[in-house]
Structure 1
Amino acid sequence: MASLSYYAGGEFMNFPYDSEPRRPRIQVTHATKELVKFTLRDTDVSMANAIRRIILAEVPAMAIELVEMEENDTVLFDEFIAHRMGLIPLSSHGVGDIPPDDGVTLSKDCCQGECQACTREFRVDITNYEDKVLTVTHFDIQQDTPETRQFERADWGEKKQVRCCPFRNEAVDEETDRRENGIIITKMKKDQRLKMVCKAKKGIPKFHAKFMPVATCVMNYEPIVTVNHDVANGLTLDEKIEFVKACPRKVFELDIEDTVQVARHGDCIFCDECTAKAREFGKRDLCSAQMDSSIFHFTVEAVTPDGPRTAYDVVRAAFRILDYKLSLFMQDAYGDDIDHYLPQERDKPPN
């Protein structure tokens, strides 16, 4: 989250609570599996930061929690390999966001052991028989064996199945895909063997960073950048060029008449280089860079195109979780029953 401009001044929260209620509005500007950008308007930083924190810390995903090492002849310790296995992303599109969802149950709320409702299993059993170094990647993890199928849900489609990410790219050959997209687990010399059983559980990033469903989530205030042309016209051409070059994001530029204009106000990062240059010229009123603390621009990036969860799936889950938390608050504070919640799918009518 961007910090407030020190020289330009500003307020941390200036939403007029006394005169109007908050009516948040969302405008999605970009939405793909890998990247989502949206703008949140007509609210304050408390609501915007709540959404950001939920995206980063409370959207659930699957990750390997338990590794049973049966044989390890590699140069890496068992604990080191177990740690690497835990960080391999697992597709978690059917994991469920809130209790009403028919997803995976948290282990603490289930059988305290291993069952279809709370556990998925993966196996690794690979031996290097060739006289060269073998690179073991996540493509070597066995995901469809008689042992692993006992934890599969028969009522789940292929989209909801928990699989290691990224998936196999059929557009390239297997060797190229392994080399360019495979997540390296370890390397083995001839006659070395690695055999282990991995159990995946559901969790949230508050428990451990391996459950993080996104690569990053950032928000920025809407910049309000202005130039006082009466003051700017008093600068020499060299001073105008020096002022324009002072901005590292090229927010300002000179037009055909050598007048300073705000060309890209959305690129402003509130670094105050422009106001510092204005003070250097002895013209404090030359420009200002402030924040509109009722408009927030979000950028959410997925870990891989295949998962753990797509970027738009994470954003939708964050709003569902926030809505459910507010419903729980209303239930505890006022005794209101929770009779509805936001739908899991876009085309599904609310319950």
Structure 2
Amino acid sequence: MAPARVSQTELDARKIVGVNAETVTNVSSTDIPGHYPGEDHEWDLEDFRNTFKVKFHKHQPFDCAFSLIGIDASIANAFRRILIAEIPTLAIEYVFVHNNTSIVQDEVLSHRLGLIPLTGNPAGLRWLQQYRKPTDEDPVGSGVQDVNTVVMKLKVECTKADNYDELNKKREDDPRLLYKHAHVYAKDLEFVVSGRQDTFFSGEANQIKPVHPDILLAKMRPGQCIDMEMHCIKGIGADHAKFSPVATASYRLLPTISITKPILGNEAKKFARCFPKGVIGLEEVSRSEAKQKGSGYEGHEGEKKAVVKNTFKDTVSRECLRHPEFEGKVKLGRVRDHFIFMVESTGQYQSDELFLESVSILKEKCASMKRGLAEYTR
């Protein structure tokens, strides 16, 4: 039997998830072999190379947005999960408290320290290996070494300012002026170079330090002090959220809006208000449109009509479907294979580097699976 000929319009329609007033339709993927009789839907590498696209919409050090076009939802979700839980980062894991007379309990302060995002020389962070905790099978683990553990110290004491008496006479009530180290910040953490780490982390620009130096850790008054030593190790978000390299990593499908019948005049203005600003625009009906028979614009030359400007800004609220005057005039949907990713980095990696890291990890997973399958079938 000869292969079925399918128009491009039909192929494009298959990719749209229908968004109705109370239901969502056409949610399942259909581009699989045998789904449509007489059509070949087997996966082809060359076809994937020609159709897959990556578009960047926003690129900032801590925040980026980009689109992956032409992939399956399972692959897009794999990238999202890897971004959240499987890219290793450095964080404080062990806290040794030598002295803590502040009002913040040891456990609470240790927890706050663990959540501080750390950064440093990217090459050095990749050089660091993951620390293996001792287990029953491996009582020693990997042991504390310069290649898997970064040491930091926090040693601060609150004392009166040099001009305390003068400030006191002026009735100054700001403790940050009256005392030294009245507030303990993340910038008070001190990095201690160990062994071969000076190759990567020497100098102010390359050393391990907090991404945000003004994170408040504790407040103290004269006579109180904090003396701690911390061991930082690499881990993944699946073990603890503090190791996650992203504040959030999410995606959404590109919305589609199809105006099937003309929306004119005051209805057009109301229709535009149903969407976020910039999604729907108002244009005048041209003379040629007004003369064209069957266009729906006959006799409406110069009137305002609703047109779709930018669906990227749409949030698919379905507000327009709640008004009876728009019934049968608009169709909402989402493009099934167009994923808009939004990634917010915590600072250890640049936002765009995170996606490349997730690609590398997925590639390693695939290679591991291929090796296991080859051994199984051998």
1:139 maps to 187
Quick one: which of 273, 278, 281 aligns to 2:319? 273
- Aligned equivalent of 2:230: 198
Aligned to 1:324: 364
1:246 aligns with 2:290: no
Instruction: Give the unaligned 5+ runs of structure 1.
Output: 168-180, 337-351
Aligned twin of 1:297: 340
Post-superposition offset of 1:211? 0.7
For 1:89, give the aligned amino acid.
P
Match of 1:156 in 2: 200
- Within the candidate set 7, 13, 21, 2:43 is matched to 21
Q: CA, structure 1 residues 251+42, in 2 after alignment: closer, same or farther (shift >3 Å)? A: same
Cα pair 1:252 1:264 within 8 Å, conserved: yes
The more displaced of 327-336 and 201-210 is: 327-336
- Provide closer, same or farther for how the CA distance between residues 156 and 216 of structure 1 changes in structure 2, counting only shifts above 3 A: same
Partner of 1:36: 64
* Alignment correspondent of 1:114: 144
The corresponding residue for 1:347 is: none
The C-alpha deviation readout for 1:44-88, integer Å capped at 9, x for no partner, is 111111111111111110110011111111111111110110011
Separation in 2, partners of 1:81, 1:151: 28
Q: Would you say the 8 A contact 1:61–1:95 is kept in 2? A: no
Q: TM-score, normalised by structure 1?
A: 0.78
CA contact (8 A) 2:146 2:195 kept: yes
1:276 partner letter: R
Task: Give the aligned residue type for 1:75.
Answer: I
Q: Corresponding residue for 1:10? A: 25
Give yes or no for contact 1:221–1:296 (8 Å, CA) kept in 2: yes
Q: Report the CA distance shift for 1:91/1:16 in structure 2 as closer, same or farther (over 3 A).
A: same
Listed one character per residue, the Cα deviations across residues 95-139 of structure 1 (whole Å, up to 9, x for unaligned) are 76xxxx743223249844311121111011111121635111011
Deviations 1:152-191, CA, capped at 9 Å, x for gaps: 5244355995612227xxxxxxxxxxxxx51111011012
- 2:20 touches 2:321 (CA, 8 Å); kept in 1? no
- Alignment partners' CA distance in 1, 2:88 and 2:249: 15
3-state DSSP class of the match of 1:81? helix
* Alignment-derived partner of residue 74 in structure 1: 102
Per-residue CA distance 1:312-348 (angstroms, 9 max, x = gap)? 2211111100111111111111249xxxxxxxxxxxx
Match of 2:128 among 103, 106, 128: 103
1:327 partner letter: A
Indicate if the aligned counterparts of 2:124 and 2:201 stay in contact, CA closer than 8 A.
no
* Identity between Structure 1 and Structure 2 (%): 22
Query: Which amino acid counterpart does residue 317 of structure 2 have in structure 1?
Result: C
Secondary structure in 2 aligned to 1:47? helix
Contact 2:130 2:235 in 1 (8 A): no
Aligned residues: 303
SS of residue in 1 equivalent to 2:328: coil
Please give the TM-score of this superposition, normalised by the length of structure 2. 0.73
Structure 2 CA distance for aligned equivalents of residues 156 and 209 of structure 1:
26
**Aligned residue for 2:210?**
165
Letter in 1 for 2:76: A
State the SS of the aligned residue for 2:327.
coil
Question: Which consecutive unaligned segments of at least 5 residues does structure 2 have?
Answer: 1-16, 34-40, 135-139, 165-177, 285-302
2:186–2:216 contact (8 Å) kept in structure 1: yes
Counterpart secondary structure, 1:37:
strand
Give the whole-Å Cα distance in 1 for the aligned partners of 2:60 and 2:93: 29
When residues 35 and 186 of structure 1 are mapped into structure 2, their CA distance, relative to the original with a 3 A threshold, is: same
Indicate the SS of the match to 2:87: coil
Which of 196, 214, 219 is the aligned partner of 1:187?
Answer: 219
In 1, the alpha carbon distance for the partners of 2:255 and 2:124 equals 38
Distance 1:95 1:319 in 2: 21
Q: Residues 213 and 162 from structure 1, CA distance in 2 versus in 1: closer, same or farther, beyond 3 angstroms?
A: farther
Distance in 2 between residues matched to 1:15 and 1:250, nearest whole Å: 33
Q: What residue number does 2:241 align with?
A: 209
**For 2:261, which of 229, 240, 245 is the aligned residue?**
229
The change in CA–CA distance for 1:220 and 1:142 in structure 2 (over 3 A counts) is: same
Q: Identify the structure with the greater helix proportion.
A: 2
What do you get for the CA RMSD once the two structures are aligned? 2.6
Tell me if the contact between 2:86 and 2:238 (Cα under 8 Å) persists in the aligned partners. yes
Q: Is 1:128 equivalent to 2:143 in the alignment?
A: no
> Which residue of structure 2 lines up, in the alignment, with residue 262 of structure 1?
308
Offset of residue 36 of structure 1: 2.4
Deviation at 1:29, TM superposition (A): 3.8
Number of the residue aligned with 1:58: 86
What is aligned with 1:344?
none
**CA separation of 1:17/1:217 partners in 2, compared to 1, >3 Å: closer, same or farther?**
same
